[in-house]
Structure 1
Amino acid sequence: MDPTPAQPPRAAHDREIETLAEFDEVVSAHGTLSGYRVQAVDLTGRTELLLSVDCAGAVFLGCPMDPEAAARVRAGGALVFPPIPGLPFDPYRGHVYSPGELYARLGEGYEATPDARAYAWFQATKADGDVFASMLRAVHDDSVSDALDELLAGARVVGVMGGHAMARGSLAYAGAARLGRELARAGFTVATGGGPGAMEAANLGAYAAPFGDGMLEDALRLLAKAPSFTPSVTDWARAAFEVRERWPGGGASVAIPTWFYGHEPPNAFAGHIAKYFSNATREDGLLARCTAGVVFLPGAAGTVQEVFDNATPNYYGSRGEPTPMVLVDRAHWTERLPAWPLLASLARERPMESRIALVDRIEEAPAALKRLGG
């Protein structure tokens, strides 16, 4: 009879090792890697340890290691998925992206950045039917979702949705930035679609939240020098990093963009960027994580889609209690793109009816969100 008492099974996240420090801690504390998943950790400096530690049932995902060590852990019962050379992204990554990571080498022009190179790879592979490329995209997106779930565990997330055409220097952009700032100061985690325009403005506002009010006004004036990502993504992005360098240590928020819309670069003001290849996975994941509600600023087809993508689970109750939905700009949502009458008709006599609101001005959105239970 085995005298060792049975150990309770570890939760999935408790079995994941995503940094070298975590790797060393697990080996030191438990003396085994059996059953663990080691994700995108460079183990080239841990060869001696890998030659001796128990790895039965372990999985190594994209971990560089010495060939001798790789052979040893395979022989010991581990699965080893080696790094894939030549990719502009890591499909096994253990964390979401940072602005600095996606915009590395911006000094050589946007085309040299990992973000632009990943989009170019996507464009080159998405139409050729290569099952290997589609598998890599799927693995990457699942890894990003896993990392995003860990990041947002327990957070009160409010989404801010809106079009990419809202220019820096405009009153609407400034209003969206102040909205993001107020939400962040109220203790919410601001989440956006991660692109330019209204999305960037909300992430900028969250970044500005720890500073005095004058910082945001100064940043808005600085950004107005490059009002749009067209014709030059490089100049547009450089202006954002100039703000970050002048006021380091801003507040964190989340951006969830996609290479499907690769002509729209990610904004640099979100501290955490979960970028996807699949737009369907990204859209559903973005809205599902907005647990404290969503504010919809004026936008076009993409924003309209987001309104009703969010309305559907609220209508059917498929994610539990309906979450608040606040539409901003009465004329936009009742005349130019009359989504509000349809949304109100869908909500009638449903639990979601008390969780939707239409307001005229951005400044009214936080109070409306609070009134609806956000």
Structure 2
Amino acid sequence: MEEGARVAADRHLAGLDLERRALYTADELYDTADYAASYDGRAHAWAIATCGPAEALAEVLHDQAIDEALGAWVRERSVVGVMGGHAAERGSTAYAEAARLGSLLGARHVVATGGGPGAMEAANLGGRLAGLGPDTLDEALRRVAEVPSFRPSIDAWVAAARSALERAPDPRPTLGVPTWHYGHEPPNLFATAIAKYFRNALREAILLQVCDAGIVFLPGAGGTVQEIFQDACENYYATEEAVAPMVLVGRAYWTERLPAWPLLQALARGRPMERHVHLVDTVEEAAVLFA
């Protein structure tokens, strides 16, 4: 009983809500200008400083509440996932391409990402600004590029994002699904709804599951490769009507640098998923497949 009371007090101090009925907003996670003192920072600090059955139960209860809120949020929405490297810096070509992809997809679908920085942030940004025209997106990209990375200052990175948010007072819905497992990477502010989990394995599976309209895979590293084949496994055993499209962007990247495509193509051969896997060179080609 004493242990349970202590954990309850600790998570109360962290501000954790184990009975949420809605997904997070960026303003809830970034509730102070000082990131270390913010809800997101406090939750991460609590997660790494505590361990034991009671703490594990608290995390499970929190993540269950997020599950239920996410299920309600995606209902009646067509969700397209964008997966890609977290290392793409603001101002880079890779970041701009991911943002343009998000903008193209966001015209018809909700854009969902892992909710972190890099290509994930860019795709959420593009999806949020979808329909507002290239000039609006270009101006937002210019504003965030003033602080290319969350290192060394998350606070400066957040401030640049808030400046870009001024370009979308009436945003389209976008989804981020980050995790405190990677607490050193802050969640991006451009997702209008944020399903943040403590348990990364659950978060990975849920993110793929909610992308009912399919997933676009931009160049990335270990995490992106894992997501490709985790998604491929689901499609491999799915019936024809349950298969969701998989689109890999970057022919040279996925056939030479990290040759995931030949294995994916071989895996799909003769299966219902075969006609739903695609390899393209540009984000424009990828977006056409979801039009």
- Structure 2 residue corresponding to 1:184, chosen from 90, 102, 106: 106
Name the Cα RMSD after superposition. 1.8
> What letter matches 2:172 in structure 1?
G
Measured in 1, the distance between the counterparts of 2:77 and 2:181 equals 27
The one-letter code sitting in structure 2 at the alignment partner of 1:163 is G
The letter of the residue matching 1:86 is L
Say if 2:14 and 2:39, in contact at 8 Å, map to a contact too.
Answer: no
The alignment status of 1:233 with 2:154, answered yes or no, reads: yes
Q: How far 1:247 sits from its partner (Å)?
A: 3.6
Aligned counterparts, 1:110-121, within 5 A: 110-121=35-46
The structural deviation recorded for 1:85 is: 3.0
Q: Is the 8 A contact 1:181 1:205 kept in 2?
A: yes
Match of residue 96, structure 2, among 174, 194, 208: 174
CA separation of 1:319 and 1:290: change in aligned 2, threshold 3 A: farther
Counterparts of residues 280-359 of structure 1 (less than 5 Å): 280-317=201-238, 321-359=242-280
Does structure 2 conserve the Cα–Cα contact (< 8 Å) formed by 1:313 and 1:319?
no
Gaps of 5+ in 2: 1-7
The answer (yes or no) to whether the contact 1:325–1:369 under 8 Å persists in 2 is no
Deviations 1:253-298 (A, max 9, x none): 0000001111111000010000000001100000001000000000
Counterpart check, 1:360 vs 2:281: yes
Paired residues, number = 284
Aligned pair 1:199/2:124, yes or no? no
SS in 2 for 1:86: helix
Q: Greater relative contact order: 1 or 2 (C-alpha under 8 angstroms, separation 6 or more)?
A: 2
CA change 1:320–1:142 in 2 (3 A) is farther
1:175/1:363 contact within 8 Å kept: no
> Counting helix residues as a fraction of each chain, which structure ranks higher?
2
- How far apart in 2 are the matches of 1:93 and 1:319? 36
Identify the residue that residue 91 of structure 1 maps to in structure 2: 18
Contact (CA 8 Å) 2:246, 2:277: kept in 1 or not? Answer: yes
Q: Please list the CA deviations of residues 20-74 of structure 1 after superposition, one character each: whole Å capped at 9, or x if unmatched.
A: xxxxxxxxxxxxxxxxxxxxxxxxxxxxxxxxxxxxxxxxxxxxxxxxxxxxxxx
Mapped to 2, the partners of 1:333 and 1:111 lie a distance apart of 38
Shift of 1:245: 3.2
Q: 1:211 is aligned with what amino acid?
A: L
Deviations 1:122-161 (A, max 9, x none): 1111xx3x11110000000010010000011011110000
Q: Can you list the C-alpha shifts for 1:298-348, whole angstroms capped at 9, x where unaligned? A: 011010010011000100117962110000011111111111111011001
Match of 1:144 among 60, 66, 69: 66
Does the Cα contact within 8 Å between 1:191 and 1:253 map onto a contact in 2?
Answer: yes
1:295–1:245: structure 2 CA closer, same or farther, 3 Å change rule?
Answer: same
Give, in whole Å, the separation in 2 of the partners of 1:369 and 1:267: 24
User: Shift of residue 211 of structure 1?
Assistant: 2.1
Larger radius of gyration: 1
| Structure-1 separation of matches of 2:48 and 2:12 | 18
Distance in 2 (alpha carbons) for counterparts of 1:121 and 1:335: 42
Shifted more, 315-324 versus 230-239: the winner is: 315-324
Q: Are the structure 2 counterparts of residues 231 and 344 from structure 1 closer, same or farther at C-alpha, using a change threshold of 3 Å?
A: same
CA contact (8 A) 2:140 2:165 kept: no
107, 117, 122: which one aligns with 2:47: 122
Q: For 2:233, what is the secondary structure of its paired residue? A: helix
TM-score, reference length from structure 1? 0.73
Q: Distance in 1 between matches of 2:164 and 2:233?
A: 38
TM-score for the superposition, normalised by structure 2: 0.94
Structure 1 residue aligned with 2:136: 215
CA shift in 2, pair 1:280/1:320, >3 Å? farther
Deviation sequence 1:195-236 (CA, Å, 0-9, x none): 001100110001111423211111111111101111111111
Q: What percentage of residue pairs aligned between the two structures are identical?
A: 52
